[in-house]
Amino acid sequence: MQYTQLGRAGLKVSRLCLGTMNFGPQTSEEDSFKIMDHALDLGINFWDTADVYGWKEGEGYTEHIMGRYFAQGGGRREKVVLATKVFGGMGKGETKDWPNTNHLSALHIRRACDDSLKRLQTDHLDLYQMHHVDRETPWEEIYQAFETLVQQGKVVYFGSSNFAGWHIAQASEAALKRNFLGLISEQTHYNLNVRMPELELIPACKHYGLGLIPWSPLAGGLLGGVLQKVSEGRRAGMDIEPHREKLEKWEGLCRELGEKPADVALAWLLNNPVVTAPIIGPRTMEQLDGSLRALEIKLADETLKTLDEIFPGRRTAPEEYAW
């Protein structure tokens, strides 16, 4: 396994991040345990989850599964750089529609962190990520809550998710005024087919020293060889017709390279120096093993140019739209 620093922090994480969103809804607890064990065998030490994963309202279903896994001992928790998130609604039953059960008020952050620690059966979180920007809560309040969590030993590092470049700038400047480390990572929707982050988000991450953690690196399966799967009689699970022309070029290029489309898509992300680790969300052991090939692929400049022709990228702002 290859390792790198997460943004400007000294924290070392694997170049692939184990996403756990399928644990519970699509992957049984038994199989989830096997995948997590195998991830450790492969040296994948960076694991991502969220309090809302599992999609059972207010239950933190996926965190519970991971907590029971860590409770087995054997150094499982100690080997993992554990990341979870806060923002989504966690009220249930009588508190379902009550205020302060979501977003980023200091009250919700405090409660949500304690609840995640209990579900994950750990005494601290290595990376605590804001799942979304809160446009109603001032940064002074958010950072006061974060600083308290650090002082209490409950959180080591903080990150964001689904932020814009402007939000990264706001958050980073607010942290500087407090002499606080602030954000070290941003988790965002980024892949060959979704390149909007190149406009302002990636330049902001580069400037402030945040590691980029792309989610949906295969564009929901679009970049995983979907045309080949359809030709074999498998269902696409999506409307591929609007993308057919570029997918034909994409899968044709991958055949010329002698590589699987999913591996090339991951390798393309790993080629970006701002990207720390794409999030892979394996439902099976086979999918987990299959992701490792991406670490070995080195894309030539000519190949990168061809990929830009198939999936046009964005220049950084303001050059994209002004001089």
| Residues taking part in catalysis | 53
Cα–Cα distance list, 89 to 52, 59, 111, 173 (Å): 7, 10, 12, 28
Question: How many residues are there in the chain?
Answer: 323
CA-to-CA distance for 169 and 164, rounded, in angstroms? 9
Residue 21's contacts (CB-CB under 8 Å, 6 or more residues apart) are 49, 50, 53, 62, 281
Q: Are 251 and 225 in contact (CB under 8 A)?
A: yes
Which residue intervals of 91-137 are DSSP H helices?
A: 106-120
Return the structure tokens found at 254: 């991958």
Burial class (CB in 10 A: 0-12, 13-18, 19+), 301: exposed
CA-to-CA distance for 295 and 270, rounded, in angstroms? 8
Q: Are 149 and 108 in contact (CB under 8 A)?
A: no
Sheet holding 81-86, edge to edge: 211-215, 183-189, 155-161, 125-130, 81-86, 46-48, 17-19, 279-280
Which residue intervals of the chain are DSSP H helices?
A: 29-42, 61-70, 106-120, 139-151, 165-177, 201-208, 226-231, 244-257, 261-270, 285-290, 301-310
47: DSSP letter: E
Return the structure tokens found at 285: 């052991």
CA atoms within 13 A on the CB side of 187: 26
